[in-house]
A and B are shown apart, each in its own frame.
Chain A
Amino acid sequence: MMCVLKAEDFGLWINGVQILKNVDLCIPEHKITVFIGPSGSGKTSMLRSFNRLNELYNDIKIQGDILFKGVSIFDWDPQELRSKIGMVFQTPNPFPHMSIYENVAFPLKIRGIKDKEEVRERVRWALEEASLWEEVKNRLHEYPGILSGGQKQRLSIARAIVTRPEVLLLDEPTSSIDPANTMIIEKSLIGLKKETTIVLVTHSIPQAKRIGEYFALIYHGKLVTEGTYEEVFVKEKNPIIAMMSES
């Protein structure tokens, strides 16, 4: 199995509190890896470790390493690393001062892509992949305030994928939106895995089962188990998963 991201004995302390403990984990290329676990178990911190977002606003201490394409992420320039690892957040966050089109074109602009035709094509591609094109194609120059929560989240996904990142991190992207939009997003993610490796945090076991291909159960900062659907849900009768399935 080709690991695009690989945690090796990884430990994380945020502001003096240990959040992750001795995590060894492989994120397989071009698959949808799902982090599952109860709230506060460390899933999001693990996710934000991959693009070094934890260190922006906190004092962090680390142990072990995370490799991205075989190189320690701590040897990467953080900005370059983040440009290769896209992220979608729990709360939809299209920039309110930019139009729908400008939001998606913005990451291209900051990478110096100025050819208008190329930008137009890539914006359209990203919006199509995020299943939003048909709904916004006639109002691309309006502000995202007119969109529903689910549409805003799909716009955030389009913005995150427009540069074709090698990895796409999603932190509970459907937790604040309705079931119809959740289904649309899940369908988009399944389509996107041919383009990028996807890492999704969720505490919805049904969602994990619907779209996940590789699973990592994190509990109290430790990786409890990882593997395919068969390995995690069928062979191993993990009590934490059983508890989460019931709730």
Chain B
Amino acid sequence: MLILSIIALLLMFSVQLVLWLKGLPVLLLNGLRILYDIPPLPSSSQPIGGLGPSLIGSLISAGLAMLFASIVSILLAYVSVELQHKRISSVLKLTSTALYGIPTITVSMIVYSTICLHMGRQSILAGALALTIVAIPMEFTYFESIFSSIPLTYKEAGYSMGLSRGQVLKKIALGIGKAGVVSSLVAVFARIMGETAPMLFTIGNNFSSFAFNLFEPSSTVTTLIFAYAASPYKVQVDFAWGASLVLYIIYIVFSLASKLVKEVEL
């Protein structure tokens, strides 16, 4: 058992080591520029440039997806918990599980065929919708667990004062479960920021110009890594390593932040 644990630790360590060894030189070469500049051209001698357009694409698409998915998931999870003895609760859980099981590349294909082909282009909005579909079952699972853990007596106290179900959700369930909700949102945000497959067919490959219009093509850090890592140009492959490390650091920061939110003592 001990040997297996050591092997597992060595594997994890070596993956991180490779990432830092390959990515850190690019980060040191660029400094903060890597966050806002455009990527290097294939003809560049060194991987000097930034992820600006892709980072903006990632933030906008993931932010929008979080907005859409959070509203839907909070409501559905609350309905599922409040009506847990009704058929609707089982249907919601089953649907969430089924949605969770759809490969994310398939989600990308579905959004491409239903949204992008009709709009005639890939777009930030299409990417956000694909991420929304990926985020909903994750958030639903988190929120359902949070709402289930709130003792019924607090909700009943709210109802006994004359609150509606919506008010009990807003003022009591979300109030008591605030820490869990915030940390779940941060965790899911970090997770979908790192998704590649849902974005492949949906957001586009616009790596070099900033796009803020939701109906315009953009890119994400992950699609940039996907495209550049497979490039025949060394400078782009090196830059992909730098981008990977940036993405990893963002993930670590968000994951740590999600653990800092203080729980309400029941």
Chain A interface (Cβ < 8 Å from any Cβ of B):
15, 51, 53, 56-58, 79-83, 86-87, 89, 91, 93, 95-98, 106-107, 110, 143, 145, 156, 159-160, 163
Contacts and interface: CB of A to CB of B under 8 A. Distances in A.
A110 B176 contact: no
B159 A53 contact: yes
Contact of A82 (B153, B159, B176, B264): B159
A95 B157 contact: yes
Given A95-B172, A143-B265, A107 B85 contact: no
B160 interface: yes
A51 B162 CA distance: 9
Nearest to A83: B162
| Residues of B contacting A: mostly | helix
Interface residues of B, number: 23
A56 B81 CA distance: 12
B161 A110 contact: yes
B175 A82 contact: no
B183 to A, nearest CB: 15
A93 B157 contact: yes
Given A97-B175, A143-B265, A79 B157 contact: no
B159 A56 contact: yes
7 contacts: A57-B152, A79-B164, A83-B161, A86-B160, A93-B156, A97-B176, A97-B264
Contact of B156 (A53, A86, A98, A163): A53
Interface in B73-123: 82, 85
A95 B176 contact: yes
B227 interface: no
Given A86-B161, A87-B160, A96-B264, A110 B153 contact: no
A159 B157 CA distance: 10
Contacts of B164: 79
Interface string B156-191: 110111111001000110011010000000000000
B154 interface: yes
Contacts, number: 68
B6 interface: no
Contacts of B161: 82-83, 86, 106-107, 110, 159-160, 163
Contacts of A82: 159-162
A156 B176 contact: no
Contacts of A57: 82, 85, 152
B12 interface: no
A79 B162 contact: yes
Nearest to B162: A83
A96 B176 contact: yes
Contacts of A98: 175
B266 interface: yes
A191 B227 CA distance: 76
Contacts of B162: 79-83, 110
Nearest to B164: A79
A45 to B, nearest CB: 14
Given A95-B157, A159-B157, 18 more contacts: A51-B160, A56-B156, A57-B85, A79-B163, A81-B162, A82-B160, A83-B162, A86-B160, A86-B161, A87-B157, A89-B153, A93-B153, A93-B156, A95-B154, A95-B176, A97-B264, A145-B265, A156-B157
